[in-house]
A = this chain, B = another copy of it.
């Protein structure tokens, strides 16, 4: 049996069921491959031969004059098994079965899928899918999906495994619109006839390019194994899991989507919690958490400080923080003295620190920089939430960014509210400086919670700083 790694590192590829019609899936895929700059050899297979997007189509796999390591299969379900036999003769190591019409559609499809399963087992070929858009390796430019664009292919450190190919494509496009979020590998799992969530996670755990793992799953085939693999993975990198099919109606829909089997979500949740896998409540939370892990150090404790112009946003953040087991930091005497130097009214020097009156009196930059500096140097503060206005100019934030970059010791999250164009201007500037921005501080709090939980999981000694109420 070949390893997932061998397949992911394929240097040659054939698309079986390639189309000569430039608007069909079977040709768009070849166009995608050309566009990615994949350095290996590419061929198409079509009984009538020809060429599309500059790729030669051969009448059969056998006719291809070079060895094929990876095959993408687009032919109808009933001929997939025989196609796999040809793949075996050709020495193919892995296949991406993009065709639909397998176990997700009913009994006949289930039979097809069992045949596929049997032949994969007997030949040792590793199979992704069916019903998947396949794999991406940004290290080699390999991409078996026409959803891939130049941003998705810029090499980075986020490894993705997803049970839904099309969703993964759209999500990757959105995700990589953030300059901070760059991909290492993508594994599309589909119906998981062979490569499943445990194989994918195990591969991403060992993959050196991957520093953080994001998964979307609709079911977990072998819970016991996944828990084992997840425990090992979490020891080496954060694992973020988004799971569809929490409810019975949702789980029912997964059956016709990726032929998933319902599991009791509470049981699963409990088991996964033990491993330290971080479960995401939404796509938005997944993206937010990726940004947090990509940009800031792990927190050393659960005591946070808020700096704000607006009591209201601070209060909503404190609600979210408290509900999530975080606590407001008590400032050191030194910090209190430093705050007293810039904040005239004693009641504004607490936590949250209210910068508004002194900002009006002494200027935003001076006030905010001094406060941030003091909090960054206070070891009793483990995370800082800076909640302020969005301004049309980024100049006021430049000195703050310098203060933070000089002391990269703890997470600092920005939330700036105002006119939408101003918000976007500020966000882009902060992003360029690797400072996480979340429109609403409640999301920043949620990200901090995940990061703090991960910090506790990977380093038992950190637990000492956790203070129980």
Binding site for B on A (CB under 8 A): 24-25, 100-101, 104-106, 149, 151, 162-164, 166-168, 170-171, 173-174, 177-178, 216, 218, 242, 244-250, 253-254, 256-258, 282-284, 309-316, 318-319, 321-323, 327-328, 345, 347, 350, 352, 356-357, 360, 389-390, 417-423, 439-440, 442
A254 pairs with B315, CB closer than 8 A? yes
Complex partner residue of A311 from B171, B253, B312, B323, CB under 8 angstroms: B253
Contact of A218 with B283 at beta-carbon distance under 8 Å, contacts A247-B318, A247-B323 already known: no
Give the top 4 A-B pairs by smallest Cβ distance, nearest first.
A257-B311, A177-B420, A164-B312, A167-B312
Shortest C-beta distance, A363 to chain B (Å), equals 10
> Which residues of chain B are near A173, meaning CB under 8 Å?
390, 417-419, 422
Shortest C-beta distance, A385 to chain B (Å), equals 13
B347 pairs with A245, CB closer than 8 A? no
Q: What are 21 A-B pairs at a CB distance below 8 A?
A: A25-B360, A104-B347, A105-B345, A164-B312, A167-B310, A168-B312, A170-B417, A170-B418, A173-B417, A174-B390, A174-B418, A177-B420, A177-B421, A244-B315, A249-B318, A249-B328, A256-B350, A257-B312, A282-B440, A283-B417, A283-B440
Cα(A309)–Cα(B100), bound, Å: 14
A423 pairs with B174, CB closer than 8 A? yes
Cα(A367)–Cα(B78), bound, Å: 27
Contact of A218 with B257 at beta-carbon distance under 8 Å, contacts A106-B347, A170-B418, A345-B105 already known: no
Q: Give A105's nearest chain B residue, CB to CB.
A: B347
Q: Give A319's nearest chain B residue, CB to CB.
A: B250
> Which residues of chain B are near A257, meaning CB under 8 Å?
311-312, 314-315
A149 pairs with B419, CB closer than 8 A? yes
A417 pairs with B174, CB closer than 8 A? yes
> Which residues of chain B are near A24, meaning CB under 8 Å?
360
Q: Give A282's nearest chain B residue, CB to CB.
A: B442
Cα(A464)–Cα(B451), bound, Å: 47
> Which residues of chain B are near A258, meaning CB under 8 Å?
311
> Which residues of chain B are near A390, meaning CB under 8 Å?
170, 173-174
> Which residues of chain B are near A418, meaning CB under 8 Å?
170, 173-174
> Which residues of chain B are near A256, meaning CB under 8 Å?
311, 347, 350
Cα(A167)–Cα(B282), bound, Å: 26
Shortest C-beta distance, A263 to chain B (Å), equals 14
Q: Give A23's nearest chain B residue, CB to CB.
A: B360
Cα(A350)–Cα(B170), bound, Å: 23
Shortest C-beta distance, A143 to chain B (Å), equals 16
A248 pairs with B170, CB closer than 8 A? no
Cα(A248)–Cα(B356), bound, Å: 24
> Which residues of chain B are near A177, meaning CB under 8 Å?
419-421, 423
Cα(A434)–Cα(B205), bound, Å: 46
A245 pairs with B315, CB closer than 8 A? yes
> Which residues of chain B are near A319, meaning CB under 8 Å?
244-247, 249-250
Cα(A199)–Cα(B314), bound, Å: 26
> Which residues of chain B are near A216, meaning CB under 8 Å?
312
Complex partner residue of A315 from B106, B253, B313, CB under 8 angstroms: B253
Q: Give A421's nearest chain B residue, CB to CB.
A: B177
A250 pairs with B315, CB closer than 8 A? yes
B356 pairs with A166, CB closer than 8 A? yes
Cα(A184)–Cα(B97), bound, Å: 57
Q: Give A314's nearest chain B residue, CB to CB.
A: B253
> Which residues of chain B are near A105, meaning CB under 8 Å?
345, 347
> Which residues of chain B are near A101, meaning CB under 8 Å?
345
Contact of A310 with B423 at beta-carbon distance under 8 Å, contacts A249-B328, A417-B173 already known: no
> Which residues of chain B are near A357, meaning CB under 8 Å?
100
